[in-house]
Structure 1
Amino acid sequence: MSQPELVLAGMPLGNSDDVTLRFLSLARSADVVVCESRRTAQTLLKRHGIARPDADFLILDEHSSEEDVQDLLGLISAMRQILLVSDAGMPVFCDPGSNMLLKAEQRGWRITVLPGASALTLATVRAGINGAFFFAGFPPRETAERRRFFQGLGKRAETVVFYETPYRTAKTLEEMKQALPGSEKVFVGIDLSGENERVFRFRLAEAERVAKQIPKGAPVIILDRTREERNA
């Protein structure tokens, strides 16, 4: 008996029509869909004419334990093809799925990755970043650790990109202002690719003023350390 195939596929970020034909084909043919939220995955598929019962969706989210992952793998090990998605963007990268991927690989499963939307790529392209940068993930939650995180960004020379939760954007900008020089160039992209997409460019010294204009939404924040004048 051949080993199962685990297919990791990107989900749309801000526009539900940003899916590939290959994704839709697999969403129809896969034996099961492993997802963060059944409602999110099911709603997207229904929009594209794919109706699947609740039983076809299995949950893997940030609260899933090591034991949950083992149980999930045992449940689907006899299946032919498993589709793994997150709520938005690519699974695994700053999202659940890493443990499942590595354990499936150890079991000899075939692993396939479908290209898809990524907030990191969207933000760096929209910001005009065409060289090296450092991706810092999400800032820590604890106050002292956050302070060290932002102070650490000041020790780096290259452009820095990081994610933040929608309700912390203003607080994050204030913390950055306290830890970094006011001359730092900042780019903030909110709900990129969505109908409510907003983009802000400013110096860190202006953070307090700009923060009042930034709506609640999923942000990507960039400390843009590229030169003022870029080659054409």
Structure 2
Amino acid sequence: MSASFTSALAAATEAAAGQHYPQGALYVVATPIGNLADISLRALHVLGLADTIACEDTRHTQSLLRAYGIDKSSHQLLALHQHNESEAAQAVVGRMHQGQRVAYVSDAGTPGVSDPGARLVAAVRALGLRAIPLPGASSVTSVLSVAGIGEDGGAGGFVFAGFLPNKSSERALAVEALAQQERAVVLLEAPHRIEALALALAPLGTRPVTVGRELTKQFEEVATVSAEGLVAWLAEDANRLRGEFALVLHPAPVVADTGADQRILQLLLAELPLKTAVKLAAEITGAPRNDLYQRALALKVEA
């Protein structure tokens, strides 16, 4: 056990022990994506309380538990990963029917988000059993928080695309679809594929991409570059090809069709008072009302 987490376990007991933790329930527990200190107090308490911990990799999870000073026997750990999720889910359900509290953790981050866990939760809920989320670290929300996408305009919100296809032809088609996306898009990528992803994104030109590399870890790096400049940015430092990546493709720029706006404004001005014409033109085109008003005045002067 790391001595630095002794007080964390005590704090977890103090903060979370008084809450209700039903038996026969599945606890979906988010774990750190790199920095061990990002574990929540409630997660520490539930991991200690759980009768069984289902996990993507039993050895990885055992090391994580020991770092926090949580002692579980090998019989209390159950492997549940992408290759056996459907079968292992039945074993989890069996233990839940015995009244056990079962926690599920992936190797890092929030289960079910580009990690195993979704099929397990679906199987549990299909039987009317309870699945309880314990929120925490996520590379998706982490990279979004430092991308500043609210300043880009666009349609608002974001799309989570995760990992794009392995095959270059399928990846190119996926990027072509993303080129039309007016919202920000969050992508995930592994170090051995990041150069291929950068090449695939290059046709998007000057569209900004925020790159989060090794988020929360010692060599964390966050940068915003153009899609066409991502290949060069990676090549500037060999270390940039290492670690896990979370990227935000910023919203496609909104291009105003001033010609169409002008024509609509002219048609309305021919039939309506200026203020009414401007109001309707703004509602029809979505263009700023102040801009339309100034153009309407100019048209009146010309007339």
**TM-score, normalising length: structure 1:** 0.90
Match of 1:86 in 2: 106
Match of 1:189 in 2: 212
Give the aligned CA root-mean-square deviation in angstroms.
Answer: 1.8
Question: Please, which moves more after superposition, 4-13 or 125-134?
Answer: 125-134
Match of 1:219 in 2: 245
Corresponding letter in the other structure for 2:108: A
Give structure 1 stretches of 5+ with no counterpart. 228-232
Change (3 A) 1:192 1:65: closer
Corresponding letter in the other structure for 1:220: A
Superposed counterparts of 1:1-232, under 5 Å = 4-130=24-150, 131-177=156-202, 180-212=203-235, 213=237, 214-225=240-251
Corresponding letter in the other structure for 1:163: L
State the secondary structure of the residue aligned to 2:146: helix
- Kindly state the Cα deviation for residue 72 of structure 1 after the two structures are TM-superposed: 4.0
CA distance in 2 between partners of 1:59 and 1:209 (Å) = 41
Change (3 A) 1:8 1:144: same
Corresponding letter in the other structure for 1:190: R
State the structure with more CA Rg: 2
Question: Please, which moves more after superposition, 134-143 or 69-78?
Answer: 69-78
Residue pair 1:3, 1:110 contacting (<8 A) in 2 also: no
Corresponding letter in the other structure for 2:222: V
Question: Please, which moves more after superposition, 167-176 or 59-68?
Answer: 59-68
State the identity %.
Answer: 31
Question: Please, which moves more after superposition, 138-147 or 25-34?
Answer: 138-147
Change (3 A) 1:144 1:205: closer
- Kindly state the Cα deviation for residue 41 of structure 1 after the two structures are TM-superposed: 1.2
- Kindly state the Cα deviation for residue 65 of structure 1 after the two structures are TM-superposed: 5.0
Match of 2:270 in 1: none
Corresponding letter in the other structure for 1:162: L
CA distance in 1 between partners of 2:100 and 2:94 (Å) = 13
Change (3 A) 1:138 1:96: same
Runs of 4+ in structure 1 off by over 4 angstroms are: none
Change (3 A) 1:15 1:65: closer
Deviations 1:197-225 (A, max 9, x none): 11121112222211213231110111123
Residue pair 2:161, 2:186 contacting (<8 A) in 1 also: yes
Number of residues of Structure 1 aligned to a counterpart in Structure 2 = 224
CA distance in 2 between partners of 1:208 and 1:46 (Å) = 40
CA distance in 2 between partners of 1:65 and 1:116 (Å) = 22
- Kindly state the Cα deviation for residue 91 of structure 1 after the two structures are TM-superposed: 0.7
Match of 2:12 in 1: none
CA distance in 2 between partners of 1:119 and 1:152 (Å) = 23
Corresponding letter in the other structure for 1:153: L
CA distance in 1 between partners of 2:210 and 2:105 (Å) = 28
CA distance in 2 between partners of 1:37 and 1:63 (Å) = 12
Residue pair 1:31, 1:79 contacting (<8 A) in 2 also: no
Give structure 2 stretches of 5+ with no counterpart. 1-21, 151-155, 254-303
Residue pair 2:86, 2:120 contacting (<8 A) in 1 also: no
Residue pair 2:53, 2:78 contacting (<8 A) in 1 also: yes
**TM-score, normalising length: structure 2:** 0.70
CA distance in 1 between partners of 2:218 and 2:175 (Å) = 31
Corresponding letter in the other structure for 1:218: E
CA distance in 1 between partners of 2:227 and 2:116 (Å) = 32
- Kindly state the Cα deviation for residue 40 of structure 1 after the two structures are TM-superposed: 1.6
Match of 1:230 in 2: none
